[in-house]
């Protein structure tokens, strides 16, 4: 595996560079978002081109052949909304992993699910951390009805520029015009450092509509916060429908505004039950199709094979659909056995160098023994921070690679507990050991 830089190229140059790599299937992750590559895709630099994940609608390009989706988020009849052929996965259209930029943070104490804030506050806090552009007048007015239906409840809205006094005041005035009591609305400035931490202040999340949350909804559920979502008619207004359906929580889906208020008020009516739900929801989410990476990878890989076989069949038998189907069936029967089995976990140590999970565990354990046997690193003046000693650093770096490949791997987590214990970070060491124990109970492979 390697990267090819396309920055600074014209669309034509990008297309030539892609074609020169001999790529069979080109996947676009941006759609019509900023700085996208659609002009390059328009030149058809790869025989099969696929749209996925980054944009909740069609590219509108005939050069893009397929779009990955699922049967809930894009139900039968949605084909008319796309120029692409819909490939519906037998699972949710996407799979979620939190903390992708800082994979070890997900195991740290500050990111663990806490007691529902209503237990200590004595009132329920509804909230949204979605882009403010999604919060239309209709949405805010409906949220005002929820506040009216739940005495003493509050609404927390996180968004960009809410740290600017004049902007925040204008937004507060808008809320008041739409029926939200300003004294019960908390405006919180968007901070990427708090992407997950703000949910510690929210009891029940409210999904906007018609453009619903995407990654934000994944974040909400992983942090243990139930969410109320409105059912829409297109992908952009059904992302919450797909997530909650595959989670098995369709009772949080509203067909009408009245339903939306009723569901939100119903969740708020029983704080002990709300707290019990919060403490179990992360486990539900991690064990559901929303975060089953093994299941998703198998389905996604099969989808790419089907797309490629369809292209080959059309090339060999143009204008003969029956012959194309027969050819595909023949090729499918000739699949290597490993293609039909769940993927075997492995760890990429560097580009082009992959080892089995068992081999990675052995490397980790060897590094831990070397670190324990090495003379201690002289302490730097001031409070101890971070990880010192090249052997302990090597343990941390390899454990992070393992956890990037296999989240919740118990051996990697136990090795990180050794690192933190060696540095006197007792709280972190205990947390890693707790995660390792939980992972073994979940049946995560230990190599």
Checking if the pLDDT of 446 tops 60, the result is no
Fold: same for 105-286 and 346-377+384-442: no
> Of 193 and 426, which is predicted with more confidence?
426
Q: Which of 3.20.20.70, 3.30.465.10, 3.30.9.10, 3.40.50.11380 is the CATH number of 11-96+298-340?
A: 3.40.50.11380
pLDDT, position 388: 67
- Catalogue the long-range contacts made by 63-69 (C-beta closer than 8 Å, 24 or more residues apart): 64/28, 65/307, 65/311, 66/307, 68/93, 68/300, 68/303, 69/93, 69/235
Q: What is the mean pLDDT of residues 159-168?
A: 97
* Average pLDDT along the chain: 94
Checking if the pLDDT of 333 tops 80, the result is yes
Q: What is the mean pLDDT of residues 263-268?
A: 99
Checking if the pLDDT of 383 tops 80, the result is no
pLDDT in tens, 57-81: 999 999 999 999 999 999 999 999 9
Question: Any idea where the domains of the chain sit in the sequence?
Answer: 11-96+298-340, 105-286, 346-377+384-442
pLDDT range class, residue 171, cuts 50, 70, 90: very high
> Of 23 and 342, which is predicted with more confidence?
23
pLDDT, position 442: 64
pLDDT in tens, 145-154: 999 999 999 9
Angle between helix 257-268 and helix 137-149 axes, rounded to 10 deg:
40
pLDDT, position 66: 99
pLDDT, position 186: 98
Q: What is the mean pLDDT of residues 400-428?
A: 94
Q: Are 401 and 349 in contact (CB under 8 A)?
A: yes
pLDDT, position 342: 79
Residue 350 to residues 3, 205, 405, 439, 442, Cα–Cα distance (Å): 13, 40, 12, 26, 29
pLDDT in tens, 279-327: 999 999 999 999 999 999 999 999 999 999 999 999 999 999 999 999 9
pLDDT, position 386: 59
Checking if the pLDDT of 242 tops 50, the result is yes
pLDDT in tens, 183-235: 999 999 999 888 899 999 999 999 999 999 999 999 999 999 999 999 999 99
pLDDT range class, residue 363, cuts 50, 70, 90: very high
Checking if the pLDDT of 18 tops 50, the result is yes
pLDDT in tens, 102-122: 889 999 989 999 999 999 999
Q: What is the CATH number of domain 346-377+384-442?
A: 1.25.40
Q: Are 35 and 44 in contact (CB under 8 A)?
A: no
Checking if the pLDDT of 447 tops 80, the result is no
Checking if the pLDDT of 401 tops 60, the result is yes
Q: pTM (2 decimals)?
A: 0.92
Q: Which residue in the block uniquely carries the two structure tokens 């590559």?
A: 37
pLDDT, position 49: 99
Q: Which of 3.40.462.20, 3.50.50.60, 1.25.40.10, 3.40.50.2000 is the CATH number of 105-286?
A: 3.40.50.2000
pLDDT, position 255: 98
Q: How far apart are CA 69 and CA 152, in angstroms?
A: 41
pLDDT range class, residue 384, cuts 50, 70, 90: very low
């Amino acid at each position: 595996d390697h990267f090819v830089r396309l920055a600074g190229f014209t669309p034509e140059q990008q297309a030539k560079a892609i074609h020169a790599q001999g790529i069979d299937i080109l996947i676009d992750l941006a759609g019509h978002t900023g700085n996208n590559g659609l002009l390059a895709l328009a030149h058809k630099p790869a025989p099969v081109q696929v749209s996925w994940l980054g944009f909740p609608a069609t590219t509108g390009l005939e050069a893009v052949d397929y779009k990955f989706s699922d049967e809930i988020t894009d139900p039968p009849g949605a084909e008319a909304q796309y120029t692409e052929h819909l490939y519906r996965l037998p699972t949710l259209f996407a799979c979620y992993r939190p903390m992708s930029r800082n994979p070890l943070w997900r195991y740290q104490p500050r990111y663990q699910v806490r007691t529902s804030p209503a237990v200590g506050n004595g009132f329920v806090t509804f909230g949204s951390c979605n882009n403010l552009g999604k919060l239309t007048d209709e949405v805010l007015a409906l949220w005002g009805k929820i506040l009216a239906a739940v005495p003493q409840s509050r609404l927390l809205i996180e968004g960009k520029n809410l740290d600017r006094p004049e902007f925040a005041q204008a937004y507060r005035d808008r809320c008041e015009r739409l029926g939200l009591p300003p004294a019960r609305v908390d405006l919180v400035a968007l901070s990427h450092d708090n992407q997950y931490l703000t949910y510690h202040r929210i009891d029940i999340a409210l999904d906007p509509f018609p453009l619903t949350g995407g990654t934000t909804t994944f974040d909400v559920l992983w942090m243990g916060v139930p969410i109320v979502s409105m059912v829409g008619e297109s992908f952009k207004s059904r992302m919450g429908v797909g997530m909650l359906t595959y989670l098995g929580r369709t009772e949080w889906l509203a067909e009408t505004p009245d339903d939306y208020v009723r569901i939100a008020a119903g969740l708020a009516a029983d704080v002990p039950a709300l707290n019990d739900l919060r403490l179990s929801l992360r486990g539900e989410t991690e064990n559901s199709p929303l975060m089953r990476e093994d299941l998703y990878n198998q389905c996604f890989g099969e989808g790419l094979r089907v797309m490629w076989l369809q292209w080959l069949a059309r090339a060999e038998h143009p204008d003969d659909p029956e012959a194309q189907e027969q050819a595909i069936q023949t090729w499918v029967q000739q699949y290597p056995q490993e293609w039909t089995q769940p993927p075997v976990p492995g760890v990429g140590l560097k580009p082009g160098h992959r080892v089995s999970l068992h081999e990675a565990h052995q490397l980790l354990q060897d590094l831990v023994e070397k670190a324990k046997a090495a003379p201690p690193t002289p302490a730097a003046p001031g409070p101890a921070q971070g990880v010192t000693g090249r052997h302990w650093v090597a343990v941390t770096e390899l454990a992070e690679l393992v956890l990037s490949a296999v989240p919740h791997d118990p051996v990697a987590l136990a090795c990180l507990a050794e690192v933190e214990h060696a540095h006197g970070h007792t709280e972190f060491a205990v947390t890693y050991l707790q995660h390792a124990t939980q992972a073994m109970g979940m049946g995560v492979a230990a190599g």
